[in-house]
Structure 1
Amino acid sequence: MLMKKIKILFILDVLEFGGAQRVSLNILRFLNRSRFTPLLTLLKGKGNYMKMLPQDVTVYNLNLKRARFGVFDLVRILKITRPHIVFSTVNYIDEVVNVALRIYAGSYKLILRSPNFPSQNIHKYPVYVRLISRWSYNKADMVVASTKAMKSDLQLIFDLPLEKVKLVHNPVDLQLISSLSKKSVEEKLFHTEGDDYHPVIVSMGRLTEQKGFTYLIRAFKMVQNELPSKLVIIGDGAQKKDLENLTESLGIAEDVIFLGLQSNPYKYLVNSDLFVLSSLWEGFPNSLVEAMACGIPVISTDCPSGPSEIITPGIDGLLVPPGNPEALASAVLKVLNDKKLSIKMAMTGKKRVKDFNASYIVEEYERLFMSVL
């Protein structure tokens, strides 16, 4: 007797560069098709990740200017698809999803995945937004946290029952990273030799306050005073002009290269000497795991949450206090001046990230999906 496939409707704003979007994309790509039928609704448009989406995923693109205007469109999609499970992982659309589900008359189970560490920025929002978020999470049948610290934080901030919050790390496609990292890099700064050689430090993420690039640039200035090197920053965001101005004021503009968004950042990572995550807070830092997968040593701030659950200090990386340029500069110099430590951390780090391989993590998601039905 054939088992009826479980329909899962994934709801996102767009399918483009971003941690929450990447997690959803990897689940959609690795989900077992013999047991599950994946569906996708995009509220605001398609995006750069569409080319990586499997062709068997039915996509409902609403092309809305504002997500909050999508309640009745979502109700229509729910009536068309009649999913067994609805999965949402972008905070500002969780409430829209919940309202649409209240109007929708069918049966369903709702799973919300938190993309970030809530206590770090919940206080920035008006009281009514906090109350709506609490209501939204409590209406879910299951809430997914990507780190142990985030799980505890969600339970505390939103007063969630212990059994409602489940820990599932982010899935990382190690095979894809390995393949893309082999692509050639044209930029000359990655190909210096002999007297022209200089270490390349790389970082990656949205250019926002959360990612702490201001502290990284100040730390890099201290590194430059002792060891000529280059800093490459991959990503884009609201702080780009401020960060460029900071490099000018510190006199290091020629040695800090802003590469912008890159569809294949891995070819730059694998050709760098060191990766640095300078975040003030995180959810689960995908970029840190991806750098480790590229086989280069990593340094991360010990921010909430994620790095301390990924890195064992001195074994597969180094941890430093967030917002501390002096400590960060000291760690960078330690790694760049100690080849033995650098090689050791790179090798052990590459082994460590196998625990986050997408094929394994998506199996955990599959068990979670079955458990809510």
Structure 2
Amino acid sequence: MRVGLMIPTLLHGGAERAICRLSNILAEEGYEVYFIVFDASQQFYTFSGELIDLKLPNGKNLMDKIRVFRKRVKAVRKTKKSFNLDVVISFIAAATFVNCLTRSSTKCIVSQRNFMSKETTSKIKKYLLRYCFHKADAVVAVAELCRLDLIENFHIPRSKVHTIYNAYDQQQIFNQMEESIEKYHQTFFENHTFNLVSVGRPEYQKGFWNLIKVLYLVRQKGLDCGLTIVGDGSQLQMLENLSSELGLEGHVQLTGYQSNPYSYIGKSDAYVMTSLFEGFPNALTEAMCCGKAIISTDCPSGPREILEGKKNLKERAVTAEFCEFGVLVPSFSDTENWKANEFDKKHEIMSDAICELLNDKKLRGKMGSKARERAKSFSYGECLKNYEKLFLELQIGSKI
């Protein structure tokens, strides 16, 4: 069976990491994998299969974008036919548009990586994605709440939407956690009694301005705590400025992109996530693979499903909930607020939950162990089983 995996680039990011892992899973099982990338000039992750680099990077202006888009459609249509692909699975909206517009005898599966209702405010983009989801043979949502959102708010037929969780090689992640880090980063960890870590691109979605404020409150409550944010993004300088305004110099380190974030997670006492919305948060689950206690906003979607299971998916935390596999706290406001002197009740709730966890070593250890056990549910084998079930339902290829 010939499987195409399509994504715009192989830059660092959760979707890029997830599709590379999927290529490894399928190739190891004997599938012929063809990795279709619009622009593969930079590659941050290893993958399996034959790389098809279309060499069609993003356009610089509107007319250029339209020209490039047309070329992508033509190139992908030719690729599907030339390689006689049985199915193409696309990640990220730009690839989804092209995959659906080149739909033919090759089955078209699109992967929705985020909670659609919150992912974009653009009505045009939402309309186009809804059109694509209807046109596709199947839509893969990375979490059950994402699936329900597509069914209830975008009217995608229930039979067309399937939940398949991201997959993780827990042992590999655990091994990488033991690797050393830069000396000055190591010194930062050693200079604090407690350390919090969060991994992700410093962009609006991650809500990191809230995390800086929460750290300030944690330290005000008497805990000698440091915060490390691993990731590169447009808000790095703003985070640095906010830290300075709050007098947190020496207590916040912004490492930028790191090829091995797990070694930083391994140095922490707890992993914290302040996202405003997600799909199925990779870094949070990877921290669970590392055996770390988790504190996360109860944002749509992913955290509640991961830390509590599929029950009560539509409930939202109004106070700190110490669940079986981690701690959920209320989601923050969708409105950015970089004012150093403005805090709200939700900042207090998260800071109190962090203090309770950091002050109780036994509880921290128990939650870390539980988290690591829970992470086993998101294995390569489980992911493969669910994709093969979907292939069977779509009657793809002779391998099944």
TM over 0.5: yes
Q: Measured at CA, do residues 175 and 227 of structure 1 come closer, stay the same or move farther in structure 2, by a change above 3 Å?
A: same
| Structure 1 residues 193 and 121: CA distance shift in structure 2, 3 A | closer
Mark the CA change 1:234 to 1:135 in structure 2 (over 3 Å): closer, same or farther: same
Contact 1:10 1:39 in 2 (8 A): yes
- Counterpart for residue 22 of structure 1: 17
3-state SS of 2:18 partner: helix
Q: Is the alpha carbon distance of 1:34 and 1:27 closer, same or farther for their aligned partners in structure 2, counting shifts above 3 Å?
A: closer
Q: CA deviation at 1:221?
A: 0.4
Give the Å deviation of 1:322.
Answer: 1.3
Q: Which residue of 2 aligns with 1:205?
A: 200
**Residue type matched to 2:69 in 1?**
R
**How far has the Cα of 1:231 moved from its partner?**
0.4
CA distance in 2: counterparts of 1:21 and 1:228, whole angstroms: 36
2:380 to 358, 361, 365: 358
1:156 aligns with 2:152: yes
Paired residues in the alignment total 358
Cα distance, 1:187 vs. partner? Answer: 3.2
Answering whether residue 334 of structure 2 is matched by residue 342 of structure 1, we say no
Secondary structure of 1:254's counterpart equals coil
1:251-276 Cα distance to aligned partner (Å, 9 max, x none) = 10221000111100111111111110
Residues 68-79 of structure 1 mapped to structure 2, 5 A cutoff: 68-69=69-70, 70-79=72-81
| 1:128 shift after superposition | 3.1
Secondary structure (helix, strand or coil) at the match of 1:311 reads helix
CA distance in 2, matches of 1:46, 1:351: 38
The match for 1:311 is 307
CA distance in 1, matches of 2:86, 2:192: 57
| Structure 1 residue 94, shift from structure 2 partner | 1.1
1:13 counterpart SS class: strand
Once superposed, what is the RMSD of the aligned Cα atoms? 1.9
User: How has the CA–CA distance of structure 1 residues 74 and 180 changed in structure 2, closer, same or farther, with 3 Å as cutoff?
Assistant: same
Residue 337 of structure 2 aligns with which residue?
Answer: none
Distance 2:246 2:29 in 1: 57
Distance in 2 of aligned mates of 1:151 and 1:192: 41
Which is richer in helix?
1
- The corresponding residue for 1:108 is 106
Is 2:140 aligned against 1:139? no
- Structure 2 CA distance for aligned equivalents of residues 193 and 85 of structure 1: 47
TM-score, with structure 1 as normaliser: 0.91
Which of 36, 40, 47 aligns to 1:45? It is: 40
- Looking at structure 2, the residues matched to 369 and 311 of structure 1 have their Cα atoms a distance apart, in angstroms, of 29
Aligned counterpart, 2:331: 322
Q: Paired residue for 1:3?
A: none
Could you report, residue by residue, the CA deviation over 1:135-159 in whole angstroms, capped at 9, with x for unpaired residues?
1000011111111111100112321
For residues 255 and 135 of structure 1, the distance between their equivalents in structure 2, rounded to whole angstroms, comes to 47
Counterparts of 1:290 and 1:40, CA distance in 2: 24
1:82 is aligned to 84
Where does residue 236 of structure 1 map in the other structure?
Answer: 232
The answer for unaligned runs of 5 or more in structure 2 is 59-67, 309-321, 333-345, 396-400
Which residue of structure 1 lines up, in the alignment, with residue 312 of structure 2? Answer: none
- Work out the CA distance in 2 between the residues paired with 1:190 and 1:333: 23
**CA distance, structure 1, for counterparts of residue 370 and residue 227 of structure 2:** 24
CA deviation string 1:154-204 (max 9, x = no partner): 11232111111011111112122022112123435646899x552111001
**Superposed displacement of residue 347, structure 1:** 0.8
Q: 1:97 aligns with which of 75, 90, 99?
A: 99
Task: Report % sequence identity.
Answer: 33
Task: Please list the CA deviations of residues 2-56 of structure 1 after superposition, one character each: whole Å capped at 9, or x if unmatched.
Answer: xxxx111111111232121122111110115555211111002243334x223xx
Give SS of 1:44's match: strand
Report whether the alignment pairs 1:247 with 2:239.
Answer: no
Report deviation, 1:133: 1.3
CA contact (8 A) 1:192 1:198 kept: no
Gap regions ≥5 residues in structure 1 = 1-5
